[in-house]
A = this chain, B = another copy of it.
């Protein structure tokens, strides 16, 4: 198997979904839209702007339809929305979404906790959603707990492959994102699992990694995946984030940290780091937010010395 390290990568900004969802004080819709404008102004294109889920489960994102509507006036944005089932996926499309990310967990315990279904039931939800999608809607498939589960610990690679055996044929052109929900994946694991998956499913044209930085391994895992040929990475501005269903799993990889790393490696992201750092600094000030990352501090310190 020949690995081609991508000379250009796509960073998907997931802060407005994964970063915001665990923040308790409601972020005013106008502020959300203002952040979207600023993020897209730095060169970011695809942004996960929210999710279509139960308002009760994630009240912070109850204005996703409104935010999505506002995206029509933000030039260049490719708004992606997250959904865990057919019903909310249909709602997303009806609200005008052209990029739907469907999420299920590899681990049964996590999937049951998250959406009260066995992963195989979620596969059927995905099948029904795909059948219902009109033409022109792009699909991303998020496999939560691809490496580790907050309830059951390390997830076997075989389990991920077996689930993909069912999922990939349903929509082979879907982008597939392996998610390190707990941040406990190590880079050799990331390397090995992507190598296996990419080898087994050559029909999948785009692979992605959603890394968390809870244990400091976010960038190491992104590097390992890039080194294996993965070209798409999720990140959250200011490192905002955490998973409300994974105790202790705070800390998305910070978008500015990723942009820094790729810039140092000579890999194109299309994002202007100097423009991004001030947005990240403001993002870190969102009341109730849990920011992370290092580059924001390092570059701010460099400016003041």
Contacts and interface: CB of A to CB of B under 8 A. Distances in A.
Interface in A167-189: 183-189
A214 B301 CA distance: 10
A188 B261 CA distance: 10
A264 B186 CA distance: 6
- Tell me how many chains of this kind the complex includes: 2
Interface string A254-296: 1001001100111000000000000000000000000001110
A9 interface: no
A189 B264 CA distance: 9
A251 interface: yes
A223 B189 CA distance: 12
Contacts of A187: 220, 223, 227, 261, 265
A140 to B, nearest CB: 25
A294 B215 contact: yes
A163 interface: no
Given A223-B223, A248-B301, A216 B265 contact: no
Contact of A220 (B185, B188, B220): B220
A217 B261 contact: yes
8 contacts: A183-B298, A187-B223, A188-B266, A214-B294, A214-B298, A215-B260, A247-B302, A247-B305
